[in-house]
Chain A
Amino acid sequence: MKIVVLVKHVPDAQFDRHITGANNTTDRDESILSELDEYALEAALQLIEARGGSKAGNQVIALSMGPSGAVNAVKKSLQIGATEGVHLSDDALAGSDAAATSLALAAVIRHLGTDAPVDLVLTGMASTDGETSLVPAQLAERLSLPQLTFSSSLDVTGGKVVARRDGDTHSDTVEASLPALVSVTDQINEPRYPNFKGILGAKKKKITTLSLADIGVGASEVGAAGSLTVVESAQARPPRTAGTIITDEGDAGIKLVEFLAAQKLL
């Protein structure tokens, strides 16, 4: 089985995050592997482990698109257990919106499928920076793959993938044939941590760096030029400041109601 897992290098949410530059893009210093992609990686590893792992010829390819630092998301994925890594890196990619991103990623996945077809593309439910959830669906559209997004369970047997998807008013069981694209929620599993052996072993694993020329995509199709949306302005919201804090002296519930009444919230 050949699985491609999309891993994004995103600003660590534990720190303040900033929008900078002429194109209003996110500052990527202090970035990490997006936590939500760890669930996709874990799902991929469980699938190949159930099939004899990499020794049986199964592959989990961690794919990241982004500036040079993005290779760290690939490296972390290799430490966790991915069998190889791919980093799509090209200056022309800067400022790509979801449409341009999905165009480039679709080209990489086609490229990776030239020797042996990709069976499954796995992604997190959203990136923790853009948070649009657009890329998985757009990638599925571009690759003409069935999408099973927001999966909270995943089962692949006999060339068929079955997943569970929880909506607001109902839960669905969804089914498609391989190849397919699956995005997973944080409910699907408990991601593992890299262990010492994994960290050492990762150094020997292959990371392929690809440019746009390698995947046959023109510079004008991606980046700000190829994007279909433009962020015109970005203003930092004044940080919320603490209001009145009181300590309960037996009447805090009543004081709360007085506050709500004064705010016309009752």
Chain B
Amino acid sequence: MTQALVFIDNPGPALKKSSLELLTIARSLGDTAVAFNGELHDDVAAALGAYGATTIYRPSAADLDDYLVAPKAAYLAAAVVASGAGTVLLENSADGKEIAARLGIKLNAGVITDVVGVDADGTAHKSVLAGSYNTTAKAKSAVAVLSVKPNSIDPEAAPAAVTPETVTVEVPAGATANAARITARSAKPASGRPDLGEARVVVSGGRGVDGNFGPIEELADALGGAVGASRAATDAGWISHDFQVGQTGKTVSPQLYVSVGISGAIQQKAGMQTSKVIVAINKDAESPIFEIADFGIIGDLFKVVPQATEEIKKRKG
């Protein structure tokens, strides 16, 4: 019997690192299967096998992507029943959490979001209230539904690769009946930098950059990191809202967060204070960001940041 079922939604030609993390956690819980949606590329199927997925479930319908979350939850519920899984793991994106939410109601299963670690007995670890508490939570139900944040574990392939069996799951009739339909979709330009939510280094700029994200981007590139921003910077239109870190933006937990020209309001801290190391550059010594920075520089970002970027480039040769 399958112990853990990982939902993987439309990965395209390669699995995301966060999906590999989910598969690694799933293996620690027991026999692992995947509920897959979208086109299954050969490389992806091979990677799923390398990470120990014994079965790949696929939906009987191809139009799940035409609707917002609800039909995917209906399919996933059918896959949970088919697999007999006790734990369902999903990514912690907006869609992932909402699929988890609906799945929970369908299966009368407890849902835990924002998970950063799962013990072998199913206990989930998370941090709440903007990182001020660490909690453990458990589902009381037969099935547990967990959405897991990226960077929670180092992905590890299975000791021996398996060749997964593919099984089609019948999507329940009426799955699309009360679902919102997606009538238009426009792709956003890709930046070539690591994904903000998954990056090991994030360099964020705030109102202090005064419309010029150049120095932020250059430092991010020198460190191989992602670019982030405060709401003041996104509201000013200097950078797209997608880059906002904070309560109403992304929550990030990188190895290194560099906060540049950001005061450190509570809503901004909510999105970054679980970062391992925090560096702050701000010309105002009174800025609250200095209360949580491991290394703080009181100075003009337009002098400090380019100098640091140059020095990194020099050292890296």
Residues of chain A having any CB pair with chain B under 8 Å: 13-14, 16-17, 19, 24, 26, 36, 97-99, 102, 125, 128-138, 140-142, 144-150, 162-163, 165-176, 180, 185-187, 227-237, 239-248, 250-257, 259-261, 263, 265-266
Which of chain A's residues have a CB closer than 8 A to the CB of B209? none
Given A170-B188, A228-B139, CB of A128 within 8 Å of CB of B304: no
- Contact (Cβ within 8 A) A254 B185: no
- B106, B112, B184, B296: which contacts A245 (Cβ < 8 A)? B296
Within the complex, what minimum Cβ distance (angstroms) separates A107 from chain B? 14
Judging by beta carbons under 8 Å apart, are A228 and B307 in contact?
Answer: no
Q: Give the interface SS of chain B, mostly helix, strand, loop or mixed.
A: mixed
Beyond A142-B105, A185-B248, whether A176 also contacts B290 by CB under 8 A is no
Given contacts A235-B135, A244-B295, A253-B305, contact A102 B111 (CB under 8 A): no
Partner of B294, one of A173, A185, A244: A244
Would you call A146 and B138 a contact (CB within 8 A)? no
Say whether B242 contacts A166, CB under 8 Å.
yes
B136 touches A254 (CB 8 A): no
Q: Are B296 and A244 in contact (CB under 8 A)?
A: yes
Q: Are A147 and B299 in contact (CB under 8 A)?
A: no
Chain B 174-192 interface 0/1 with A at a Cβ cutoff of 8 Å (1 = within): 0000111111111110100
Q: Which of A140, A246, A257 contacts B315 (CB 8 A)?
A: A257
B residues near A, CB below 8 A?
68-70, 73, 93-95, 97-98, 100-102, 104-106, 108-114, 123, 127-141, 178-188, 190, 195, 197, 201, 223, 241-242, 247-248, 255-256, 266-267, 270, 273, 277-279, 281, 285, 290-300, 303-312, 315-316
User: Can you name 21 A-B pairs with beta carbons within 8 Å?
Assistant: A13-B130, A13-B266, A99-B105, A128-B247, A133-B98, A138-B104, A146-B68, A163-B180, A169-B190, A172-B182, A175-B181, A180-B180, A231-B136, A234-B133, A239-B132, A241-B292, A242-B296, A245-B285, A247-B285, A260-B312, A265-B201
The 3 lowest CB-CB distance pairs between A and B, nearest first, are A253-B307, A248-B299, A228-B110
Give the residues in chain B near A147, CB-CB below 8 Å.
68-70, 98, 180
Residue of A nearest to B141 (CB): A228
* Chain B residue at smallest Cβ distance from A15: B266
Which of B73, B112, B131, B293 interacts with A237 by CB under 8 Å?
B131
A14-B256 in contact given A166-B241, A237-B131, A253-B303 (Cβ < 8 Å): no
* Complexed CA–CA distance, A140 and B267 (Å): 28
